[in-house]
Amino acid sequence: MCLGDSLTSGHGIGTAAAFPALLHQRVRRAGLPFEVINAGVSRQTSADARARLDRALEGDVRVLIVALGANDGLRGVPVAQLTDNLGHIIETAQKRGIAVLLCAMAALPIYGWEYTAAFHQAYIALAARHNVPLVPFFLQNVIGDARLMQGDYAHPNADGARAIADVIWPYLEQLLATGVGRPSAVAPQP
């Protein structure tokens, strides 16, 4: 399950081209019995995702990829609030036996460098506190490359989504290879 915002949902490119669909293809090619679900909703903050978390985790969720915070950073949400929301999401998933993969986000320095630095450090601290793998900011090499971005320069195009999947996949593959989240008796999905 990929819990995120427009970067996850496929804003402007559709869900079939979004990074969760591309991760699903890689899971299948690896012969793993999982289905990757896109639970991205455009414009959502960590608070919005927290509010819909119970509904998102219905069913047999084994791994939760948390890709939230871009909109928090754009709106200047206090870092303490972001940390509380993401911490709650991680803890809720872990209490249900769901493995978590946290994707770091970055905040533009529009609210000052101190905010940007604290925002960055929040993800490192959350990953350490909850003992979850941390994917570095997956837009790092995407956002500054016009060939990978849509005309709004805020959302990746299909090539950008592939670049994001390239960043996330090694972390997800490692998590799945260790048996974390592996279904005990689930038949492969068609």
E strand spans, 22-172: 38-40, 63-67, 99-103, 134-135
Which is the catalytic residue, given 5, 6, 9, 72? Answer: 6
Sorted by sequence, the CB contacts under 8 Å of residue 189 that are 6+ apart come out as 33, 34, 35
Residue 102 carries which side chain, given as an amino acid letter? L
Catalytic residue chosen out of the listed positions 9, 24, 72, 155: 155
Catalytic: 159?
no
CA 73 to chain centre: 15
CB-based contact 63:181 (threshold 8 Å): yes
- Sign of torsion over alpha carbons 5, 9, 10, 11: negative
Alpha carbons 49 and 70: distance in angstroms, whole number: 12
> Cβ distance 68 to 46 under 8 Å?
yes
155 in active site = yes
Give catalytic residues, as residue numbers.
6, 152, 155
